[in-house]
Amino acid sequence: DAKTTQPNSMESNEEEPVHLPCNHSTISGTDYIHWYRQLPSQGPEYVIHGLTSNVNNRMASLAIAEDRKSSTLILHRATLRDAAVYYCILRDTGTASKLTFGTGTRLQVTL
């Protein structure tokens, strides 16, 4: 499975934008980039996914580099409820449900 690299932790002030980076230099042409987050004492929650083009939804935006070797999850206005571990995952299309999680980025949001 292709691997991703993320910073262990990041901090943000509430109401400010947050850019969470992810490197995936060995990504293959058919790998989708997925982001999940895990709030304390909960299971992971889907955030967003994309293949080549930038994507927006109600939770976040995903910016994908032109060579697809990196991507950035953007939270436009961080709130205290966004404090979580964020996982960048390359989806194994052979087994659609198999997500290979790394250790993710722990995001702290402060007032």
- Measured between alpha carbons, how far is 95 from 54 in angstroms, rounded to an integer? 25
Residue type, 21: P
3-state secondary structure of 80: helix
User: Smaller CB distance to another protein: residue 81 or 111?
Assistant: 81
**Whose CA is closest to 82, among 45, 33, 34?**
45
Which one of the spans 15-23, 60-68, 70-78, 98-106 is the region binding another protein (CB under 8 A)? 98-106
Q: Per rule CB under 8 A, is residue 8 in the interface with another protein?
A: no
- Measured between alpha carbons, how far is 110 from 15 in angstroms, rounded to an integer? 9
Restricted to residues 47-76, the positions that interact with another protein (CB under 8 A) are 49
Q: Per rule CB under 8 A, is residue 32 in the interface with another protein?
A: yes
Q: Per rule CB under 8 A, is residue 40 in the interface with another protein?
A: no
User: Smaller CB distance to another protein: residue 100 or 110?
Assistant: 100
Name the residue with tokens 């690299």. Answer: 5
- Measured between alpha carbons, how far is 28 from 41 in angstroms, rounded to an integer? 33
Q: H or E stretch including 109?
A: strand 105-110
Which one of the spans 13-21, 23-31, 70-78, 95-103 is the region binding another protein (CB under 8 A)? 95-103
Q: Per rule CB under 8 A, is residue 16 in the interface with another protein?
A: no
Residues that bind another protein (CB under 8 A): 32, 34, 36, 41-46, 49, 85, 87, 91, 94-104
